[in-house]
Structure 1
Amino acid sequence: MLKRSIPILGGMLTIGTLLPLAGNGAPQTSATSENGVVQVGSAYPMAETLDRLQKDIAAKGIKLFSVVDQSGLAAEAGIALRPSTLLVFGNPALGAQFMTSNPVAGLDWPVRLLVFQDEKGGVWAAYTDFRYIAQRHGIRDRDAAFAKASEVIASITSSVAKR
């Protein structure tokens, strides 16, 4: 079941069951409440989406730790996989705060943003909703930091979002 997630005040609000809207000026975004995954439809092909995201990350002064070409790795293993690249990035001063609340939160930090192409050729950027991460790790003392992280990832993905 797809739900509409709307950026609000540095966070995401998930409402009703909706399909991505087209032509209304709002970014094409969906999230599933069951797994906390937020997906943002890109207005650009795969290579341009990756380029725009990496430029936006750099422009914000955020450290890009790794770019993992998952489809390239799959090809090396003899497995056909649609284009899929994982960007791993973050701001240690922000991310480390979550780990001081619960060291196991390090499983979700730094931030991972998956860029992939679906079976119809559409390109998506997907990440784990930060409220879901907070709930997963029982972190209740970092609301401002989670709000900031939500604001930043929404800004980064808006650089490629369909409108």
Structure 2
Amino acid sequence: MARKKLTPAAVVAIVLATGPLSGVAPLIPTAQAATPVATAPAQGVIRQRSDFGFDQTIARLKADIATKGIRFFDEIDHQKLGAGADLPIGRSTLLLFGNPPLGVQFLQANPLAGLDWPVRMLVTEDSDGTVWISWSDFRFVADRYQLQDRDPQIAMASEVAASIASAARK
């Protein structure tokens, strides 16, 4: 007998109908998760409020990245991905960029640092329209991967990220 594939909507319906298994939280969020909520602070994350709207914030960040001659790798629209999976979320776009001569030094020290490089900057919009820019604290990342003898590079990465984020301030 041929097996039918379940659509994402069917999987969500099953999870909602049956609830979590053995007290384990469901892997697929319920419809309630789509309601925008204030995010709790995350360890090792720097969060800055933008003075501009969502689209203008992204445009300003990308322009500053280009002006600084930093390589732009990609832009990932989380809201669009969620919509494609029939799982609505608020506006959220991830920008990936970096300077290989700087970033590769972290990978030389510990290849696992590639989990956090290139640089990722997340732009989100709260339900009240407040736009936020978030990125990893590079000192936290350095400690996470036990990067030794890279203090000047960590300081430079921190300064550059803060400088790029400042493009969203008046």
Q: Tell me, yes or no, whether TM beats 0.5.
A: yes
Among 82, 99, 111, the alignment partner of 2:119 is 111
How far 1:119 moved relative to its partner? Answer: 2.4
RMSD of equivalent CA atoms: 1.4
1:51 alignment counterpart = 59
Matched AA of 1:125: I
Q: Could you tell me which of 158, 161, 167 is aligned with 1:153?
A: 161
> Is the counterpart of residue 134 in structure 1 residue 134 in structure 2?
no
- Shift >2 Å, 4+ stretches: none
- Give TM-score scaled by structure 1 length: 0.77
| Aligned pairs (5 A) from 1:89-104 | 89-104=97-112
Alpha-carbon deviations, 1:122-151, whole Å to 9, x = none? Answer: 000000100000000001210000100011
Q: Give unmatched runs, 5+ long, in structure 1.
A: 1-30
Q: Distance in 2 between matches of 1:76 and 1:98?
A: 35
In structure 2, C-alpha distance between the alignment counterparts of 1:101 and 1:126, rounded to whole Å: 25
Shift of 1:76: 1.0
Letter in 2 for 1:156: I
CA–CA separation in structure 2 for the residues paired with 1:84 and 1:138: 30
Please report the TM-score for the alignment, with normalisation by the length of structure 2. 0.74
Give the secondary-structure state (helix, strand or coil) at the position aligned to 2:104: helix
Larger radius of gyration: 2
Name the structure where strand makes up a greater proportion of residues: 1
Work out whether 1:66 is the aligned partner of 2:79: no
CA distance, structure 2, for counterparts of residue 72 and residue 111 of structure 1: 21
Mark the runs of 5 or more structure 2 residues left unpaired by the alignment: 1-39
Amino acid at match of 1:93: P
Give the whole-Å Cα distance in 2 for the aligned partners of 1:37 and 1:69: 20
- 3-state DSSP class of the match of 1:159? helix
Per-residue deviation, residues 45-81 of structure 1 (Å, max 9, x unmatched)? 0000000000000000001100001101111111111
Greater length-normalized contact order (CA 8 Å, ≥ 6 residues apart): 1
**Aligned-residue identity in percent:** 48
Provide the aligned length of Structure 1 versus Structure 2.
131
Q: Does 1:37 align with 2:59?
A: no
